[in-house]
Chain A
Amino acid sequence: MTRTDLRVVAALGARSVKQTFRRPQLLAPIVVFPSILLAIQTAGAGQAVNLPEFPPVNSFLDFMLAGAMIQATLLAGNSGGIALAVDIEMGFTDRLLAAPISRFGMVLGRLAGTGVLSLLAGIWFIVVGLIFGAQINDGVPGVIVMLLLVTLSGLAFGGIGAAVALRTGRASVVQGLFPLVFVILFLSSAFFPQDLLTGPAATIAQYNPLSFIVEGIRDPVISSLTWEVFGKAIASLALVGAIGIGLSALALRRRLRAGG
């Protein structure tokens, strides 16, 4: 990576963030949709905190914040993949490939954008949470760790989205992953405590990396983040990230050989 490559990644990242703000259809899934679901689920299932097995929390909103954030990063990763596929479909990637920059730079630029959008979504949900009475137990250091994990989630899930985009080159295919995002969410402890999940979901959620990531984001709010939980979250992110970025690199190589 040369200096120019870094500037290119930054410029492409800035482009993808601007793009999202200029097209409401891209912003809606990242911010609006998770916010609506957060509001409805918090009020609809709020009495859950009275269940005897529910971990001690200030309010159900405190518990739900992490779920909303992780949902936002998953959808940001999906949107980033769609945008990359659109770039391929309309030939914008040719512009990048005809320039003397690192081939992977165009993927990294997109990921940088997804990371920033995830960070912004994280800030949004912390602010919304605080306004509606959430209390973050670990204070400012907790907020910093949460934002770090949220940003890394965006990069990791963005990698998966980019891999599908590069492999298929079709926005409609990436868009088709949308329901899958919810399958993954429902099969994790994103919306409810692990011990209270029912059916097969309860078993799957124990092994779902998403559960570990969510708990890393949630614990600074409802209790206190331990090194163990933090380590598991980071390890899960590293796993998802390695898969996403590895598959992206393979798909890009294949695409370049076939001639885009």
Chain B
Amino acid sequence: MIAEVGHAALWVAAALALAQLIFAAAAFTMRGAALADAVRPVAIVQGLAAVCAFAMLAWLFSRTDLSVLLVALNSHVDKPWLYKIAGTWGNHEGSMLLWVAVLGAAGAAYALLERQLAARTTIATLGAQAAIALGFYAFLLIASNPFTRLNPPAATGLGLNPILQDPGLAFHPPTLYLGYVGLSIAFSIAVGALVTRDVGPDLAKAMRPWVLGAWVLLTLGITAGSYWAYYELGWGGWWFWDPVENASLMPWLAATALLHSISVLAARGALRAWTVMLAVLAFSMSMVGTFLVRSGILTSVHAFAVDPARGSFILALLVIYIGGALALFGWRVGTVRQGATFTAWSREGSLVLNNLLLTAILGIVLVGTLYPLAIEALGLERVSVGPPYFNAATAPLALALMVAMVAGPLIRWRRDDWRETLAKLRLPAGLAVLVAAVVWIAAGWIGLLPLLGLAIAAAVAAGSVAPLWGRNLRRTPLFTWGMVVSHLGVAVSVAGMASESAFTQEVLVAARAGEVHEVGPFRVRFVGIEPISGPNFTALQAVLYAGRRGGAVHELKPQARSFWNPPTETREAALLTSGGGQLYAVLGRQESRGRWQLRLWWKPWVTLIWGGGALIAAGAALSILGRVTRRRRRADRTAYA
């Protein structure tokens, strides 16, 4: 019964999306103008129906209802409860249902909250949002029904890929999806504004909370995903330039550029066409990202579903939405009025530079991700593009971006004197030189990129707090604090990346019980191997006593786990965090004669990478808070005036 209710709710949502699209279109005709008032309520009910369908599927998974095919294929009676729920979106159909549920909910929230834009543009925006939702509902109902019954029911269920059985997974995909889909509102607003020829500062103000919110979630999702790959895959790295990682990075890069061009449009009325383009690009990258992950046309460690029929369906949707939006852009953007002008040496100029660099990095990642596909399509040969390309191509641009980041907030809007800016930059530049010199003297030559990374991180840290200089901190608006905290987060994260690549020490030993091995400042004693059993796996667990020389000793237990449903092995790293760095231990294979492979890394300051990511997200959250409270204060003032 639950499955049938969910299935019906999905049909209802699809029907309402169709109605919403028709009403919105009719509202622009003479006779249908009265239908305009119906668009918002329909959008709200449509969102509720989509969320209801998803809730039904989650309920089926929590009960392990094995008469539902999807549950039987992806869950198991022995699975811990948290992973039963997480199993809802750990598969193709469920994750697509989550995607449309979030899309519907975002549309409903927009219909409830939007007060900034002209009524016509809001209606057009909701029409665009309905068109997107309709396509994805159709995809679920026709090609990926999550509620198909299985008759007779299965006895136990097949299980969930064990590498996905991790608290990180429970929240990682939903966070990213919320971020991806939050960008759909910016896309729809851009399309709506093009339809009504109403591209102006209001558009930026309407988009900003959605883009900021999506950006917070994308940042958190990417940060969490990076940490998950770091400790779960047991390879000691934190970013692998895997196609699926790139799929989440590309919308983030586009959204970051969008965020900055929005601030120009909102404050100065400039960069109109460019902001519209970025809004289209950001959600397009989200859809392309979802498509790349879900179609399986690029092989990766994340390869879940490989199904050309579904792939073709989603590709057709992408062609309609992205192609349609870009065609509308080409057709209508000529009518967008020229915004306010500015000179090259101005805040706007620095933000344009930021946009160009971010877009260039996005292009590099996109080309690198799709290059193997292009080469194969041309029938040449098979290649894979790895970290050497991405690191070499993006690092110089990223460093240039950070230089712009130091200077940008110190330059005035419209026009500024470059001599004045250079004078303000003396402190950050001096700090960078000092850090580089100290590192060089203390640690020797660590390589050009890590050294530059540490130096520029110091400059960004100094530059990020510089806008607070001489201000009354209590009266500084929250969104200025938000920028300061986010930029500081970038400095912290880059410092972590640079120090991880410069100072990591690694040893691989064939250890016998009782032996002591050294890595970095640590002494690690291999006590022995013990078998343990978990809820749905058995494992060999190494017991290690690790501590700094003369310091407290901690116990570390890296595991080699064997799951039985489905049969798979995973390696769980054990981590000891100490002074911002981490000792990272992985248990490998058994060698002959009672020796075990142990891989040990000491990674100084590595936690800064993710700490910085959290700071970046926290800064954006502060900005949202700042904008919302300011808007409310302003509304109060008008109410009492």
Q: Do A and B bind each other?
A: no
Q: Name A residues whose Cβ lies closer than 8 Å to a Cβ of B.
A: none
